Amino acid sequence: MLTPPRLTLRLRLSISIIAIVALFTLTNITYQVSSENRNLRLDNLQNAVASQLGIVSIRQLLENQQKQILVLDALKASEGENLSQQEIDKGLEGLISLQAEIMRLKPFVFSETANSYDLLIENYESLNQDWRQFYVGYNDKRTPSIKKVEKKFNTTMKLLSEFESIEIVATEQQTLNLQRTVRFTDRITLAIYLFTIALTVSLGFLLIRYTNRSLNELNKGTVRIGGGDLKYHIPVNNDDEIGDLTIAFNQMSDKLSNAMAQVQQSKEKADQANRSKTNFLANMSHELRTPLNAIIGYSEMIIEDYREEKKLDEEQAVEDLQRILSSGRHLLQLINDVLDLAKIESGNMTVFNETFDCVDIIEELLTTMAPIAKKSGNLIVLEKSNDIPKLYNDAVKFRQLLLNLLSNACKFTQNGKITILASFNEKNNHAVFHVSDTGIGMTASQIDRVFKAFVQADSSTSKKYGGTGLGLAICKQFVELMQGSMDVTSAEGKGTTFTVLLPAKAVLQAPKDAIPSENQQELSLDIIDQSLDQTSQEDARDSLGKVLVIDDDPAARKLLLRHLEKEGFQALEANNAQDGIKIAKEQQPNLILLDLMMPNIDGWTALSVLKESEQTRHIPVILQSMLDEKTLGLDLGTADFLAKPVDRQRMATALRLLNPQDRRGVALLIAPESEARDSLLEELADEAWQCMTATSKNQANERMEQKNIDIIFIGLGIKNEAVKDILLTISTHQQKDSRSTPIYIVSETPLSKDQSRRLDLPADQIIIFNASKRNSTLKKLIATE
C-alpha cells in the first residue's frame, strides 16, 4: 500500500509555488496567443491596403498601355512613320513592368480570391501577348485587330474589378475572425489572472496562519526553557520541519542538564590552564631573574672595584664580562623561545630551505655540547650510517632542534650516556634521528604533557632543573614546519628517547630574499691593511660612508655607534625620529639604521616620511626591532631587517651589501654549476660584488655584451682548451672597449707545469680555491680590486 508523502512545510511551499507558477505560465501563453492574433490582424490590414494600392496602380497602368496601343493604331491607319527600334524596346519594357506589377498581387491573395486571381492572370497573359504582337509587327503591318484587343482589355479590367471586390470581402472576413479570437483569449487571460491572484492570497493566508500558530508555541516553549523550566516539553502538532524543530527543542532541554556538568568540567580545565600559566609565569620570572641577577651583580661588582681601586684586575674583569655576556645570551634565548612560540602560534614562522649536511651539523653540536656534558659527567656518542644524503630543509631550525634535545638530555642525565643515532630510510625517503639518554625518564602521564607549551613533565622539575617548559613544544612545532614528525618513548628511571623523522627534500622552498642571520658566514670588513698608518685608516673610514642611527634607547644607540666605528663607518646619531629625519635631509648619510619602537613618532611613520621625501627616498633604510617585522618592512620599502639586540656580523653583512661607496663592481664567473662555484659566489657577494655567471664561451660573450665587467674568474671544471678560447674572446672585448679587465684562473688543485704552460698565464693570476672554508688569498684579492 502506497503511503502519502510527508506534508512538510517545504513541500507545502513547493506545491503552492508550482501552482502559482503554472497559472502565471498559462496566463502568459494565452496572452501570447492573443498578441499573435492581434499581430495577424494588423498584418491583414496592411496586406489589404497594399493590395488595394497595387490594384489601383495596375488599373492605371493598364489604361495607359491601352491608350498607347490606340494611338499607335490611329497612326498606322493614317500611314504614319514606322516605329524605331528604341520605341519598340521601350514599349516592350513597359509591358514587362506591367506584368511584374500584376505578379506582386500574388502574396496578398486569400484562398477565397485564388480563382479570381488565376482567371485575371489568364486573361492578362492573352492581352499581353496581343500588345507585344502589336509592337513587334507594327512596322510589318502585322498587328492584331484593335477590336479584339479592346475586347480583351475590357474583360481584363472587369476581372480586375471583380478580384478587387472579392479581396475586400475576404479581408473583412479574416479581420472579423481574428477579432473574435482576440476577445476570447483576452477573457481567458483575465480569468486566469484573477484566479491566480485569489489562489496566491488564499495560500499565503493559510501558510501565515499555520506558521504563526506553530511559532507561537515554539516561542512559549523557549521562554519557559530559557527561564529554567527544563522539564517543559513543547507539544508536537505537526509532522514537518517545525515539528522537527520542536523535537529538537525538547531534546535540547533534556541535554541542558548534561551541559551544566560539562560546563563544570570546562571550568575545572580552565582553572587548570590558569594554574599552568601561573606556574609558567613563576618559572619564567625565575628564569629571567637568574641571568638578570648575574648581569646586574657582576656589573655592580666591576663598577665598585673600579671606584674603590681606580683600576681593574684584567683577568677578573674579563671573567666577569664573560659571565655577563653568557647571562645576556641566556636571557636573549629565553626571550627568543617565547617569541618563537608566539610566531609559530600566529602562523608567522617562516621556513628557509637549503641543502646541508646533517652529520656535519651534529658533529659541530657535539663539540659545542661537550663542555656541558662533561660538567654533568655525561658521555655523548654519535652513531651514524654512511648512506645519509644531504637534506634540503631548514638548517637553522635543524640545528636548534638538535641543540634543544641535547640540552634536555644533558640537563636530566647525570653521569650517564647520551647517544645520537642518525640513519636514512630509503623506503619513505626520510632521515631518522634518535636522541637517547640514560637519565631520569618519564611516566606515561608525563609523556602526554611533554610537548605542551608552558608545561613541564612534572611541576617539581622546574624547581630542581629549571626551565620554562617551552623547549620541547618549540621543537615539536619546528619539526612539523619542516614537514617531519617527532615522537618520544621513555620509562621512569631508565632514560628517554626522542625520535625525529625529516624528509630528505622538503616541498616548500624559502623566499629568495630571506637570509636567516644564524646561517650567514662570518664576514670581516677589515679591508684596511694593518700596516697602514693612522692617517690612512682615517681616510679609509671616511671613504666607507656615513651611517645614521635613529634610536631612543641611549644604550642601544651607543652600542651601535661603537660597532659602526669598529667597522670603519662615520656614525651619526639621533635620539628621536624627528631629529633623525632632519639629520638625514641635512647630512645625506649613505645608510640609516632605524628603530621601530620609539615614543611620539614611531619607526613606521619615520620610514614613511623618509621614503616620501625627495631628499631622502634614495637612502637605504635598515629596520631594527625585537619583533619579526621583516615582511612588512620590505613591503614598505626597507632595504633589510635586523633583529634586536643587533648581531655585529649580521649588521656588517647588511652594511657592506647596501653601502654604495663599498660596492666593488661586476664580477663574471665562468664555470660549470657546482657547490664550489656556489661557494665562490657567496664570497664574492659578501664582498659586495655584483655577480654574473656563464658556463660556456658563448654565454661569457653575451654577459660581456650586457655589462662592463670589472673582474673575471675562470675555472672550477672548465677544460684548458675551452679556457684558451674564452681568454681569446675576453681579449677581443678588451681591445674593442679599450679596457683591461683582471682575469684569474681558479682551481681546486694546483696546476701542473704543462697546464700552466698551455694557459700561458702568470702565476699570480692562478688561485687555488678551497670551497670548504673561507679563502684569505681570494678575500684580499676581491677586496682590493
% residues pLDDT > 70 (the chain): 76
Beta strand 391-393 with 354-356: parallel, antiparallel or unpaired?
A: antiparallel
Q: How far apart are CA 31 and CA 10, in angstroms?
A: 31
DSSP 82-147: PPPHHHHHHHHHHHHHHHHHHHTTGGG--STTHHHHHHHHHHHHHHHHHHHHHHHTTTTT-PPPHH
* pLDDT value of residue 299: 84
Mean pLDDT of 550-555: 85
* pLDDT value of residue 418: 92
Does residue 426 register a pLDDT over 60? yes
Beta strand 665-670 with 640-643: parallel, antiparallel or unpaired?
A: unpaired
* Among 156, 92, 81, CA closest to 126: 156
* pLDDT value of residue 658: 66
Does residue 288 register a pLDDT over 90? no
Look at the domain 10-210 and name its fold.
f41 fragment of flagellin, N-terminal domain (1.20.1330)
Q: Which residue has the higher pLDDT, 754 or 492?
A: 492
Does residue 123 register a pLDDT over 60? yes
Mean pLDDT of 502-519: 53
* pLDDT value of residue 771: 53
List the beta bridge partners of residue 666: 690
- Mean pLDDT highest for which of 186-195, 334-343, 479-488, 627-636? 479-488
Does residue 782 register a pLDDT over 60? no
Note the pLDDT tens digit of each residue in 364-396: 888 878 878 888 888 999 998 888 899 998 888
Amino acid at 242: I
Note the pLDDT tens digit of each residue in 352-367: 788 889 988 898 888 8
* pLDDT value of residue 525: 26
pLDDT band at 341 (very low <50, low <70, confident <90, very high): low
Residue ranges in 613-693 assigned as alpha helix (H): 630-635, 648-658, 675-686
* C-beta of residue 362 within 8 angstroms of C-beta of residue 400: no
* pLDDT value of residue 780: 52
Q: How far apart are CA 182 and CA 174, in angstroms?
A: 12
* Among 542, 537, 524, 632, CA closest to 590: 542
Q: Which residue has the higher pLDDT, 731 or 282?
A: 731
* C-beta of residue 643 within 8 angstroms of C-beta of residue 625: yes
**pTM to 2 decimal places:** 0.38
% residues pLDDT > 90 (the chain): 5
**603 Ramachandran zone, left/alpha/beta (phi>0; psi -120 to 50):** alpha
* Among 540, 580, 538, 537, CA closest to 557: 580
Same fold, 10-210 and 545-658: no
* pLDDT value of residue 524: 27
Residues 6 or more apart whose Cβ sits within 8 Å of residue 61: 97, 98, 101
Mean pLDDT of 659-664: 53
Mean pLDDT of 496-502: 92
Mean pLDDT of 584-591: 89
Kindly indicate whether the domain formed by 517-529+659-785 is annotated with CATH number 3.40.50.2300. yes
pLDDT band at 452 (very low <50, low <70, confident <90, very high): confident
Q: How far apart are CA 337 and CA 467, in angstroms?
A: 11
pLDDT band at 526 (very low <50, low <70, confident <90, very high): very low
Does residue 509 register a pLDDT over 60? no
List the beta bridge partners of residue 491: 495
* pLDDT value of residue 4: 58
**Cβ-count burial of 717 within 10 angstroms (0-12 exposed, 13-18 middle, 19+ buried)?**
middle
Q: Which residue has the higher pLDDT, 621 or 536?
A: 621
CB atoms within 10 A of CB 269: 10
Note the pLDDT tens digit of each residue in 595-640: 888 878 888 888 888 888 888 888 888 888 876 677 777 767 787 7
Residue written as cell 653601502? 659
Give the torsion through C-alpha atoms of 465, 468, 469, 475, to 10 deg.
-110
Does residue 434 register a pLDDT over 90? yes
Does residue 527 register a pLDDT over 50? no
* pLDDT value of residue 282: 60
Mean pLDDT of 450-458: 62
* C-beta of residue 553 within 8 angstroms of C-beta of residue 544: no
Q: For residue 287, what is the enclosing H or E element?
A: helix 241-309
Locate the DSSP E strands across 540-652: 546-550, 570-574, 591-595, 621-625, 640-643
Mean pLDDT of 561-578: 84
Q: Apex CA 422: angle with CA 421 and CA 425, to 5°? A: 125
Note the pLDDT tens digit of each residue in 85-105: 888 888 888 888 888 888 888
Look at the domain 545-658 and name its fold.
Rossmann fold (3.40.50)
Look at the domain 350-503 and name its fold.
Heat Shock Protein 90 (3.30.565)
* Coil vs helix vs strand at 614: coil
Long-range contacts of 95-98, Cβ-Cβ distance < 8 Å, separation of 24 or more = 95/65, 95/128, 95/131, 95/132, 95/135, 97/61, 98/58, 98/61, 98/62, 98/65, 98/128
Q: Return the domain boundaries, the chain.
A: 10-210, 350-503, 517-529+659-785, 545-658
Residue written as cell 678575500? 779
Q: Which residue has the higher pLDDT, 9 or 517?
A: 9
Note the pLDDT tens digit of each residue in 665-688: 778 888 887 777 777 777 777 666
Q: Which residue has the higher pLDDT, 733 or 367?
A: 367
Q: Which residue has the higher pLDDT, 347 or 535?
A: 347
* pLDDT value of residue 421: 93
Q: How far apart are CA 560 and CA 571, in angstroms?
A: 9
DSSP 209-232: HHHHHHHHHHHHHHHHHHTT-TT-
* C-beta of residue 782 within 8 angstroms of C-beta of residue 687: yes
Q: How far apart are CA 188 and CA 34, in angstroms?
A: 10
Residues 6 or more apart whose Cβ sits within 8 Å of residue 505: 391, 392, 393, 429
* pLDDT value of residue 538: 43
Handedness of CA 716, 719, 720, 721 (dihedral sign): negative
pLDDT band at 248 (very low <50, low <70, confident <90, very high): confident
* C-beta of residue 581 within 8 angstroms of C-beta of residue 610: yes
pLDDT band at 278 (very low <50, low <70, confident <90, very high): low
Beta strand 495-503 with 546-550: parallel, antiparallel or unpaired?
A: unpaired
Locate the DSSP E strands across 135-285: none
